[in-house]
């Protein structure tokens, strides 16, 4: 198993209808490739986790990097993993509020985050947990 976690900026704001169309497209394509993950959109930015077989994940990520709907695609993790974090999800989706995006971006801002190879697994686990908190908020 392999995962890529990336951040990108939309070239134009996405409407709810645009996001739904993107989600349908992603779920269909990802199911064919046996890729699972999560997609967050907010403040005209995307954060996505792609997980599956390395060749399939890299092929999809290469395609995503060429997609004209966004730019400034930056990978924060691109590595082998022991197991999927989003097993059984063709693509989970959550439209994040600006405050949620600001919190996430503060956590992984390119200028502030320098990966330490000895702590990369911990950083990946923390990033995945933060992503999970967006899509599965704690019940009150």
For the domain made up of 2-135, the CATH class stated in words is alpha beta
Q: What is the pLDDT of residues 15-34, one digit of tens each?
A: 888 887 888 888 888 888 99
In terms of Cβ atoms closer than 10 Å to its own Cβ (0-12, 13-18, 19+), residue 132 is middle
Query: Within its chain, how far is the Cα of 37 from the centroid?
Result: 7
Q: What is the pLDDT of residues 41-88, one digit of tens each?
A: 877 888 888 999 999 999 999 999 999 999 999 888 899 988 888 777
Please choose, from the candidates 61, 56, 55, the residue with its C-alpha nearest in 3D space to the C-alpha of residue 7.
61
Q: Where are the domains of the chain?
A: 2-135
Q: Is the pTM of this model over 0.75?
A: no
């Amino acid at each position: 198993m392999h995962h890529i976690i990336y951040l990108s900026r939309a070239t134009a704001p996405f409407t709810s209808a645009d996001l739904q169309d993107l989600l349908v497209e992603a779920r269909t394509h990802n199911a064919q490739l046996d890729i699972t993950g999560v997609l967050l959109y907010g403040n005209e930015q995307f954060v996505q986790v792609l997980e599956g077989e390395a060749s399939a994940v890299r092929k999809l990520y290469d395609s995503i990097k060429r997609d004209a709907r966004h730019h400034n695609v930056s990978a924060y993790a691109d590595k082998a993993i022991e197991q999927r974090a989003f097993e059984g999800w063709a693509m989970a989706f959550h439209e994040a509020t600006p405050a949620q995006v600001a919190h996430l971006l503060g956590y992984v801002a390119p200028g502030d985050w320098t990966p330490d190879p000895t702590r990369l697994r911990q950083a990946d686990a923390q990033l995945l947990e933060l992503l999970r908190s967006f899509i599965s908020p704690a019940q009150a």
